[in-house]
Structure formats: structure tokens, C-alpha cells
Amino acid sequence: MAVHIKRRRILQGATILGAAAIAPTGLLNVLAQNTAPGVITRDAMRPQFPSGVMTGDVTAGSCMVWSRTDRPARMTVEYGMDEALRNPTRLVGPAAMESSDFTARMDLRNLPPNQLVHYRVRFQDLTDPKVWSEPMAGRFRTPPATKRTIRFAFSGDEAGQGWGINEAWGGYRTYAAMRKFEPDFFIHSGDQIYADGPIQAEARLEDGTIWKNITTEAKSKVAETLDEFRGNYAYNLLDVNKRRFAAEVPFLVQWDDHETRNNWYPEQILGDARYKVKSASLLAARAKQAMFEYNPMRIDAHDPERIYRAFDFGPSLEVMMLDERSYRGPNTPNVQEKASDESAFLGRAQMAWLKAKLKASKATWKAIASDMPLSLVVPDGNLDVPKGTFEAWANGDDGAPKGRELEVAELLAFIKANRIRNVVWFTADVHYAQATRFDPSRAQFQDFDPFWEFVAGSINAGTFGPAALDKTFGPDLKFVSVPPGNKQNRSPAAGQQYFGLATIDGVTEVMRVAILDLEGKELYSVDLEPMRG
């Protein structure tokens, strides 16, 4: 059900969504008569914006707008093409209620292509409808219908290893660095929270100085309840850099393990003494609900728990977001000779979807957002699992594909057989940055065309790596951001935080991919020429 409010024009075809149920039509019709805040009151009495505003899941003609308030209140959004919003389209949306931790979202539809859209959000107090919040403003750019230069950022991993928001250091400075480049959107490659990583008030750095974190009750222990998972998302949105970035740059979000618990998989029973809840599946269900509530994600009406999805960003780019957590088998030595439920990583339904999207895509570039790297060896180091098991795709034996690598081989062979060009992989997870070209002439499995994978992180977490490379698919390492023997779990203060920036030229469609540090300094770049035909 949608309500369209006419000021000087009528929005055609907008869809309004919310984490809470939408009010009856009669109530919305009454609310629609209030085209502006009814009273001016003290700021403390108004609905507040404890988490700012965000946009996300931007695609051809539509974009999600999200926010959170501090009480039962109804969300409204005004938007237009001029920054002053002198003649905006105004939508009355869902009620933000306790059942969604006072979050709400709206899907703006039928947006014109290639436009800088300005918006502002207000909340109307449901206890006293005459009381309105101050407006909270932001902007986003819609995808083009014809070729133009496109720029997007990518990274992951924030608030990991106990390194939280240190305001004296500047907070989450990677977000401030990315914001300077004004990307069209940001791929968050996962570990958006560390639900298994409590934040203490202080931590001692290598030089003896003290790192001081903002602390909250929700971050004082591992997350087990729905409210504790919600509190992890609310914590990261206390950072002013993230809120500024989120108000201006749409997020495309996927999840990895730390949204729930380190290296979890479905049906796992935890042996971690920190947890009273031992079922990873129960923890993951709560974690997924909190992630949907706290992100501007477009919920699939036919599969409301589905995370994998695709975004059309014009003739030059389509982005395919994967979910490598929900459908995997258990972490094992990863050496199964034949594909099975145990060796699954994407799972059959998601694999079929990805193949279909790649084959049908008319975009020059197909960006696959993977929450884990293809050939980096990631052991499952949890103390409550057997040694010699693996968390990611690779098994470290450098031989023919086995275990989860069988899915990689299947997908790469499909891409080659169907002459699908210009597929590039983007990921994070390992807390450093890397650029790798995969070459069949160097590989044990050779039925694929050469392609690139770019790794970038962390946003704000401990630095690790470099990890070992599995040679099954012929990785040719072109850049790595940390030296061999690098000290592990270095704090953000060491400066080893990274993000990637991909720019597709509006004329030549050359994709330039760069790796940058938390100051925005370019450390490596490569120009990828698009293949035709």
C-alpha cells in the first residue's frame, strides 16, 4: 500500500516499505493532510535521529531510503533534484515502531536516470502528531541510462578485534577518505559488525599509548539476543564519518561471518564458552533480522530472507552480490572429490541464479561482490572446531579442484563456455588489500578465461595477512598491501586500513581499479580494457 502526497506534482508508482506494518488507509489519509510540521517545540521533545539517514540498493529507477528514530513515529521523505527542495515530492511512509527498533525505510521508484537526487527525512511523533522531528538531509545519484563515468568504492570489516570508535583518533577515518571521492555507491563486502567482538573502553597500542573506544552496553559482550545484534549496528552508526558517508553514498550490503559469529555455518553447535545460545542457526536468524532492520536493503517479497541480489547501474555495469554464508556446508578439510551438500558454498539455487544473471546481463562489466576471496587460504582457527578445517573456498593443496573449489571451477567454466566477458571479483574479509590476476596458464584447473580479483579492507579493524595463496586457479599476485611477516592484529592507528575504488570511463569503458589507504592515498592501480564480442 502506498500513499502519494501532492504538493505541486504527483509521484507515479512509488512503493513504500517498512520494517513495521503500514497503518490503515484512513489514518494515512489523515496524516497526508499534514504537509509540514505542525508545531515548533524544543529539540529534546522532537523525535531524534540517533543513527542518521542512509540510502542503499540503488538500481535503475529506484533507491531505498532508511532511517531510525527514538520513539514510535511515522517516517516521511521529501525529495527532488534541487538541493533546496523548493518543490519536492513528498511521501508519507511507515511507522517506526518498537518491533523494528524504530527503524523504517521507503523505496523511491520511477526515479529519472543520471540525476543527483536530494532528500530529507522527517518523523512525526505518533504520541503527539503535532510534534515533528527536524529534517535530516542527504543525497544520491541515480544510475545512467546511457554511458557516463561511474565510480564505486568497496571495502569491509569494521569494529573488529576490539578496535572501535576512537573519536580522539578521528573515528572511522576510512569512511571520511572514501567520501572525498564521491562514489556513486559503496559495496560493503561484509563483517559490517563484529557481533562476537566486545569493545572495551581502552586498549594499549604498540608504542604504549592508549586507544580509547566509545563503549555501549550492547558491545560489552558477544551478541546473542536480537537487541544485542541491533546494538552492534547502532554502535557503528555512532561514528560521525559513517553517518556523513551514508547520507551521501548508497550502500550495497552483504554479510559474512562476524555479523553472527566468527566462521559460523548453518546448523553448527558452538563450543564457545562465551555463548549461552549454542545454535549458530538461531544466532544467525537474529543477526539477519537486525541486519535487515539496520540497512537500506530492499526486501524480496517472495524470499524475505534472501541476501543475494543484483543491481543494474546502466549500460556499463551490473553488480551481483553473493551470500557465501547462508547456504554453505560445514567447515571441513575441504577435499571432497564430488560436489555435495557438505562441499556447498553458494548452494545450487544461488549458483543457478548467478549463472542466469551473468548470461542475461547486457552490461559491459559484471562485478561479482564476494564476501570471501577465491584463492586465499583461510583456516578456521576457532578453538571449538577441529584443526585442519577451512573457512573460505580454498583448501591450500594447490591441486585439482576439490571441496568448495568445485563450485569455483563450475562457475568459471560456465563463464568461458558462454563467452561472458569482463567479469571482475571484489571482496574483503582478510583485513588487508590485494590485487590478483587469475591466469589459466598458471593453474591446475585451466578451463576458464583470465580474470581479476581485488581485495580491500579493513574499514576499522585489526590488520592481518598476508595469507597463503592456493594455486589451483593460477593466481598471479600483482599487489599486496602488507609485507611478509607483518605483525598481526595491528590497530587502525598503524595506518593499515584500505579501500578500493573502481572507475569506469564514460567513453572508453576502461575500468581503473585502485587500492587506497585510510588517508585516500593511492597505493596501486591497474587499467582493465573491456573485451568485446
User: Can you list the domains of the chain with their CATH numbers?
Assistant: 4-141 (2.60.40.380), 150-528 (3.60.21.70)
d(CA 385, CA 377): 17
Look at residue 503 and tell me whether its pLDDT is greater than 50: yes
Q: What is the pLDDT of residue 32?
A: 36
Q: Would you say 458 and 155 are in contact if contact means Cβ atoms under 8 Å apart? A: yes
pLDDT at 128 over 80: yes
Respond yes or no on whether the N-terminal peptide bond of residue 466 is cis (omega within 30° of 0). Answer: yes
Confidence of residue 31 (pLDDT cuts 50, 70, 90): very low
* Omega within 30 of 0 (cis) for the link into 458: yes
SS3 label, residue 243 = helix
d(CA 492, CA 461): 6
What pLDDT does residue 43 have? Answer: 79
Q: Is pLDDT at 9 greater than 50 in this prediction?
A: no
* Residue 323 pLDDT > 90: yes
Q: What is the pLDDT of residue 39?
A: 54
pLDDT over 70 (residue 468): yes
Residue of 143, 4, 6 lying closest to 62 (CA atoms): 143
DSSP line for 61-93 = TEEEEEEE-SSSEEEEEEEESSTT-SS-EEEEE
List of residues 6+ apart from 474 with CB closer than 8 A: 438, 439, 440, 441, 442, 443, 444, 446
- 383-420 per-residue burial string, b: 16 or more CB within 10 A, e: under 16: eebeeebbbbbbbbbeeebbbbbbbbbbbbebbeeeeb
Provide the pLDDT confidence category of residue 533 given band limits of 50, 70 and 90: confident
Q: What is the pLDDT of residue 231?
A: 98
Place of cell 516521511: 76
Query: Rounded to whole angstroms, what are the CA distances from 506 to 5, 26, 147, 533?
Result: 37, 48, 5, 19
The pTM (predicted TM-score) of the whole model is: 0.93
Pairing of strands 423-427, 475-480: unpaired
pLDDT for 26 beyond 70: no
Residue closest to 93 by CA, chosen among 28, 13, 138, 48: 28
Average pLDDT over residues 401-408: 98
Phi-psi region of 337 (alpha: psi -120 to 50; beta: other; left: phi over 0): alpha
Across the range 260-278, mean pLDDT stands at 98
Task: Read off the pLDDT of each residue in 398-423 and give the average, rounded to a whole number.
Answer: 98
Rounded distance, CA 67 to CA 65, Å? 7
Residue 64, C-alpha cell as written in the block: 531505498
Share of the chain above pLDDT 90, in %: 91
Confidence of residue 41 (pLDDT cuts 50, 70, 90): low
What's the rounded mean pLDDT across residues 225-247? 98
- Please compute the mean of the pLDDT values over residues 66-73 and round it to a whole number: 98
Between CA 97 and CA 111, with CA 36 as vertex, the angle to 5 degrees is 75
Distance (Å) of CA 105 to CA 78, 349, 358:
13, 28, 29
Which uninterrupted H or E stretch holds 236? helix 226-236
Res. 33: pLDDT tops 80: no
Single-letter amino acid code for the residue at 210 = I
Position 247 confidence tier, pLDDT thresholds 50, 70, 90 = very high
pLDDT digits (tens, 9 = 90+) for 299-316: 999 999 999 999 999 999
Mean pLDDT of the chain: 93
Overall average pLDDT of the 407-418 stretch: 98
215 secondary structure, DSSP code:
-
Query: To 10 degrees, what angle do helices 405-417 and 348-360 make?
Result: 20
Average pLDDT over residues 67-77: 98
Per DSSP (E only), the strands in 370-521 are 423-427, 434-438, 451-455, 475-480, 498-504, 511-517
Q: Which of 42-46, 104-108, 389-393, 488-492 has the lowest mean pLDDT?
A: 42-46
* pLDDT (average), residues 459-471: 97
Query: Sign (positive/negative) of CA torsion 420, 424, 430, 434?
Result: positive
